[in-house]
Amino acid sequence: MKIKVIVTLKNGVLDPQGKAIQQTLNGMGFSSVNEVRQGKFFEVDVNEKDEAKAKIKVEDMCKKLLANLVIENFEIL
Amino acid sequence: MNSSVIIFPGSNCDRDMDVALKKFGFKNEMVWHDDEQLPKSDLIVLPGGFSYGDYLRCGSIAGKSKIIKSVVDFAAKGGLVLGICNGFQILTETGLLPGVLQQNKNIEFICKNVFVKVNNKNNKYFNSIDKDVLELHIAHNEGNYFCTNDELKMLEDNNLIAVSYCNEKGEVNEKSNPNGALQNIAGIFNKEKNILGMMPHPERMIDKYLSGEDGSIFFKNLINNIK
């Protein structure tokens, strides 16, 4: 079963890449862009048939490796 | 005095560190990350580089290496653990030090000499060091130290900010901050001050003709403090 995870920077944490992307978009003429925040997307294929069980496993993976909870949040889709 | 330098796939300052440690009297051994046992050591060094290509987050995958469990046990018993650059990133990712090293504020890889102020000499790393400001080298893309307000307060209250970016006169200000690090933090201790993580590379400053010798001062002082 494939479980999808999005990891994003917490509010208030500086995102220099997002800032550069925003400035580039503004420079290209997308003047309505106020802010861009960059994150990560993971697709984890877990050998598990029960979705709830698979998500519990992936949550543990997020806490231990996929996200750094000092600066990042994760969301299991 | 015995030291061990851990090599991860992608470490690239491991041999420089080996040369520096041996130059100042350490009997150094190189240890592969996939080993489980550490040789008898007075000092463990996690060197600079790009372990695992900086995949996922700098230091995150190295922080799960087999050898790390032994490093954590060694540190828990009071053993000295020094993490330089990527080594500092690995220490934060393992939770041995608080906070995280984020991408530099200006999104540039920074490679230059900087000055750092030594804030706390009451520890094995800086005790008796005869300078308050050291000129060292930095080379990193993710050196922008960040932690929570509670962690910052804990670091400040316990005087655990080991070194801060400053100018030649030792003034810590925004202009002397190369990467956007919180409070100009260049390196920190754990509470017991046996673990030091810092972005600057003392091992690159050990030759008076090539680089200056403030790194030599660091290593001479360190081995004297361990003896």
Number of domains composing chain B: 1
pLDDT at A59: 98
Instruction: Give the integer Cα–Cα distance in Å for B159 and B157.
Output: 6
Q: B57 — contact with chain A (CB < 8 Å)? A: yes
User: Is residue B78 exposed (0-12), middle (13-18) or buried (19+ Cβ within 10 Å)?
Assistant: exposed
A interface with B, Cβ–Cβ < 8 A, is: 13-14, 16-17, 20, 65-66, 68, 70-71
Say if CB B116 and CB B165 are below 8 A apart.
yes
The band of A45, judged by pLDDT with boundaries at 50, 70 and 90, is very high
**CATH assignment at residue A10:** 3.30.1280.10
- Structural domain including A63 reads 2-76
Neighbours of B201 (CB within 10 A): 23
Q: B179 — contact with chain A (CB < 8 Å)? A: no
Residue pointed to by tokens 């010798």 = B213
Name the pairing type of β-strands B100-102 and B144-146: antiparallel
Averaged over B81-96, what is the pLDDT? 97
Mean pLDDT of chain A, nearest integer: 95
Say if CB B12 and CB B49 are below 8 A apart.
yes
Q: Please confirm, yes or no, whether B142 is among the known catalytic residues.
A: no
- Of A14-28, A52-66, B167-181, the one with minimum mean pLDDT is A14-28
The residue from B13, B58, B85, B147 that is catalytic is B85
Decide if pLDDT at A12 tops 90.
Answer: no
Q: Which residues of A touch B144 (CB under 8 A)?
A: 14
* ipTM value > 0.85: no
Decide if pLDDT at B42 tops 90.
Answer: yes
pLDDT at B112: 97
Neighbours of A37 (CB within 10 A): 15
Closest by Cα among B220, B163, B148 to B197: B163
Q: Which of A7, A23, A65, A73 to mutate to test the interface with B (most CBs of B within 10 A)?
A: A65
**CATH assignment at residue B22:** 3.40.50.880
In chain A, the percentage of residues whose pLDDT exceeds 70 is 100
Averaged over A26-50, what is the pLDDT? 96
Averaged over A56-75, what is the pLDDT? 96
Task: Encode pLDDT of B116-139 as tens digits.
Answer: 999 999 999 999 999 999 999 999
Task: Encode pLDDT of B10-27 as tens digits.
Answer: 999 999 999 999 999 999
Q: Please confirm, yes or no, whether B33 is among the known catalytic residues.
A: no
In chain B, the percentage of residues whose pLDDT exceeds 90 is 97
The band of B210, judged by pLDDT with boundaries at 50, 70 and 90, is confident
Number of domains composing chain A: 1
Closest by Cα among B90, B111, B81, B102 to B178: B111
pLDDT at A53: 96
The band of A14, judged by pLDDT with boundaries at 50, 70 and 90, is confident
**What Cα–Cα distance (Å) separates residue B210 from each residue in A31, B204, B205, B206, B220?**
49, 9, 8, 8, 18
Averaged over B48-72, what is the pLDDT? 96
Averaged over A32-41, what is the pLDDT? 96
* The token pair that represents B75 in the structure block: 């540190």
pLDDT at B73: 97
Decide if pLDDT at B146 tops 90.
Answer: yes
